Structure 1
């Protein structure tokens, strides 16, 4: 049959248009730069980090955690979040000042993380309804006090690795309600290539992708033998795992044995941009970069702005 004379059913044509649009969104260059900050208590300030006025810049305060440190070891609180980032240097006044001085800056908070006071952080909910109620209340208070713009989801361990439904509904409903209430304007998720983690986040994506703006995939979790070409392959794999998502490339500036170097990560970002796939870059973390003068932040933002 001659494809030029093929008549497609209107509903299929609409479906095809949507798919092509989503593919274009997830594969287009953009200028979003994000950086996690405050998790390591090294005294880094927002004002220490170079900010290129030609990028959209997101600071991500790390972390707010629904754990209590009043017990030893720390224990989960079923959605009642507290602040665990460096509040002395990253205070509400500091948030106000950096946003006042830089119109292209937004500030978010990341939820969860890997550890709290040396103990593993697990996503643990007594029930969907109670966790969501507690989380909405406690996070609204934090977000409004600090004049934050968004949230990032970075749970890395789960009390029940087989219960994707509870995680999906808790996080999906949380984001939906915070957006509907006008508390946040954007949300991101931060999965990495671990089967239990991927199963949680892909289940969340399948049901609630419409309220998730960015996928801050932790590509630096791959090993230090990863080449630039392999990095691009991993990136393409995540594009298919989170269809239609705005996938950010990433690397870490801490020299950690066994993980992708910052040089490899930056080179991979350059290659992704040449293929029109670089929606944005995020770096873990400003705390580490403070020690080396933010070289990679400067280069990454210049790449995004070019």
Structure 2
């Protein structure tokens, strides 16, 4: 009798044989538009078998070029909006069902005006201005998400965490965006700010676009995987993406084994996706890295 009871219990608690295991989509992401070299969405090869493909417009900045001053959360367009216009966004999303388009906020510098600083007057005013201005911009361009890429700060980590976290929460709650990501790199000040944000609002952040190309260009496969695991520990529970600079300026270069490292991460079930900085640089060499990255993400048997 006891044996029968045990069998019955196993049947009751065991999942049906046809229950699907939900695996997060492997995403490919590409920054685009910062260098004004006429690159278009349609120039970039898009593999239809990649579950999600994200373009990230670079950048929207809370800065006024005419007055050369920061604007406390009032964001303006600083990407190539002629080639990457609202109609271009609509067209690429219509032609490719797996494409989403987001906007990256901040960046390193703004023309000859110097560094882009995160410089809020107060948490409440910055969040209010950012929500209003970004909602208008996102609706105008029919965008799907935001990426946070501030790299220089005139604020403490707590202020940064609350401003960005509250902004993401508001935009998601109102259905303005469907995804949010952050783009930190291994610098003490940068990490202090982003880890404060992650600690409080990491549950609202869908991707960590960690800039592994900010490491030295002599990085080896072993070192890259070590860096990847260290940042996965820092941003525990996050979907950390492998990253490549297509101008070969830093990090683990393709010729030194970037795609080999990605394959190892995939074998260990750590590869959530890949992002590339940037389409503007990739145009010169026919987007060869984009093709390799997407082939890797869509095919478990791909060799390179």
Q: TM-score, normalised by structure 2?
A: 0.88
In structure 2, what is the equivalent of residue 201 of structure 1? 194
Instruction: Spell out structure 1 runs of 4+ moving beyond 4 A.
Output: none
Distance 2:233 2:117 in 1: 27
Distance 2:25 2:221 in 1: 20
Does residue 211 of structure 1 match 2:204? yes
Does residue 153 of structure 1 match 2:153? no
The equivalences for 1:76-225 within 5 A come to 76-118=70-112, 119-160=114-155, 163-225=156-218
The alpha carbon displacement at 1:159 in A equals: 1.1
Unpaired stretches in structure 2, ≥5 consecutive residues: 1-21, 300-304
Does residue 54 of structure 1 match 2:49? yes
In structure 1, what is the equivalent of residue 14 of structure 2? none
The equivalences for 1:4-23 within 5 A come to none
Does residue 261 of structure 1 match 2:261? no
The alpha carbon displacement at 1:269 in A equals: 1.3
| 1:145-184 residue CA offsets vs partner (Å, 9 max, x unmatched) | 0000000000000013xx1111000000000000011100
Distance 2:251 2:206 in 1: 27
Which residue of the other structure, out of 285, 288, 298, is the alignment partner of 2:281? Answer: 288
RMSD of aligned Cα (Å): 1.5
Does residue 275 of structure 1 match 2:268? yes
SS in 1 for 2:153: coil
- With a CA cutoff of 8 Å and minimum separation of 6, indicate the structure with the bigger relative contact order: 1
| 1:34-84 residue CA offsets vs partner (Å, 9 max, x unmatched) | 00000011110000000011111000000000011013xx32100000000
Which residue of the other structure, out of 229, 234, 237, is the alignment partner of 1:241? Answer: 234
SS in 1 for 2:260: helix
Does residue 64 of structure 1 match 2:60? yes
The alpha carbon displacement at 1:266 in A equals: 2.5
The alpha carbon displacement at 1:267 in A equals: 2.6
The alpha carbon displacement at 1:270 in A equals: 1.9
SS in 2 for 1:283: strand
CA shift in 2, pair 1:212/1:64, >3 Å: same
CA shift in 2, pair 1:195/1:235, >3 Å: same
| 1:178-234 residue CA offsets vs partner (Å, 9 max, x unmatched) | 001110000000000001000100000000011100000000011012110110010
Distance 1:225 1:295 in 2: 21
CA shift in 2, pair 1:259/1:280, >3 Å: closer
Q: TM-score, normalised by structure 1?
A: 0.88
Distance 1:82 1:272 in 2: 38
Structure 1 or 2, whichever has the larger Rg, is: 2
Unpaired stretches in structure 1, ≥5 consecutive residues: 1-24
Distance 1:304 1:259 in 2: 20
